[in-house]
A and B are shown apart, each in its own frame.
Chain A
Amino acid sequence: MATLSLHCVSKKFRDPRGREVRAADEISLEVPEGEFLVLVGPSGCGKSTLLRLIAGLETLDEGSVTIGDRVVNNLPPADRDVAMVFQNYALFPHLTVFENMAFGLQFRKITRRETKQRVNAAAELLKLEDLLERKPGALSGGQRQRVALGRAIVREPKVFLLDEPLSNLDAQLRAETRAELARLHRRLGSTMILVTHDQTEAMTLGQRLCVMNGGKVIQTGTPLEIYQNPKNAFVAGFLGSPGMNLIRGIVHAGGRELLVAVKGLEERLRLDIGTELAAKMAPYLGKDVSIGFRPEHVLLGDAAGPKESAWDAALELCEPLGHENLIHLNRQGIPFVARAPVGSTFAPGQTLPVRIPQEKVMVFEGASGELIVEQMAGAAV
């Protein structure tokens, strides 16, 4: 257990065509002792690379990695006291479960007895006791995943690095294992970094979340903080399933009442933002912006309230998820999604009144995606 800190870590690769890819771009990050940090981002954004840099499987171009009070830049992977769980588990097919789990200890100065003790303890923790003599080929995906975890646990490392450990499991097993991982972290109390591209995992697992894109850290914070106050349009669209609705447009008129012209839409989007924010919006007159609102904030049908403040939108598709419905709507070519409770009687083809409470709306700058107008949380609906 130890604090892990990254300072301005960079790593470049060359893709097959010889172009430079910045897989890690000046990443600075602090993970306090015992924290469960989740790294999330779309595929190819550099999450695995970051883990591999921490583990020492890739060499840094720039920056430094500190574990505890040691700068580990030049230490080989084995001396960094980190354990990694790979996405494909990386179990040795010709070794038994026991041998696979003991593998991380064999080449260290640890006695046979202690090895046995640790493996048995980990096997008990992961409910693998009955499988110790089997080969990985005779295990299910979930069992293999637990063996891979076990191999990391017996090492008793300072830092656990988990690279998409759940992505090869089916949905039900994934949910179970997710809960198990959280329990495991509480039990071991070690520093853990988990990589995922699945935002459900991101929201539920981590004490802290770190959103990455294009080799950069975009935002860190608790999952709820980030969900409610995304720093830019990318984070807003990425977190949540489905993510925030984003509608591009041009600020047409400022003032207390913001008018946004959206391509293809006859009328202007009208937002009552109040005088304070209006001042903030003034420089953006005539500029590109994105209007963002979460699906759960869209009010539909009767809930939309009086006619004059609502829009009409065509209902294109209704996806029942069991506990709620996802309603795909379209207003003159502009698609967006809303959530509706089960039992709502909406049918495709229908035209619905829709209202988006103004205090739930966020405005992002068009080109950079940076947040301009925050959600006015706490404002009366």
Chain B
Amino acid sequence: MLRRGATGVLGTLLVWEVVARFDLLPRDALPPASSTIARAAELVVDTTFLGNVGATLWASLVGYLLALVVALPLGMLLGLSDRLYLVSSTVIELLRPLPPVGLVPLLVLVAGQGLEMKAAVVALGCVWPLLINTIHGVHATDSTARATARSFGWSRRQVAIRVVWPSAIPSVLTGVRITVSVALILCVGAEFIGGSTAGLGSWLLQQSMLPGGIESVCAGVVIAGSLGLLINGAVSALETRFAAWARREEA
């Protein structure tokens, strides 16, 4: 798995290098892989760049936590009741296609161009998949498992915490895996469109307007992609730790 991933990355870099070196694409649209990586190596110790990355990560984190704080308890509540489950599934399917980045102009008016606006975009984009996966996970809890837990003499609250929640965790983590990398993308997009003064998005925009800045832009994108990979790896580790039973059971 890891080896195949490494081969894929090396292969991509090689093709990229060849395409750029032989000018198959204009040089000012695609700098060679080697110089991009060299630039990236400079950037990861560049405090201005790191400050911008930090701003993006922070806004993404705040927005993501906001989405979790809303989605998890609400998903629990909606998933536990058959009637609310039916109603909420329909309503969410209607709300979900609203593109959060399309709401940026509106959000800029309400929340400005900084942290609050970016966090709101991230939260709006991530809350639906998280909510849907939580609702489905909670609702799909085995009815015998629930009956068993109640036969222990537990209250509905105890059953929810001790049985419904753990059995929903694999589904919740699926929601997390779908959304974490989207959170970063949404945040960068919000910075682009919303005219933020800090963050990876605004940094990329500035660089793209400098002569020869394309190398920095590509390097920045590579770094952002690597960050996304790291975060995905962390979520996979969480899934292995807390949701292995769900996958093993099917086998």
Q: Do A and B bind each other?
A: no
Binding site for B on A (CB under 8 A): none
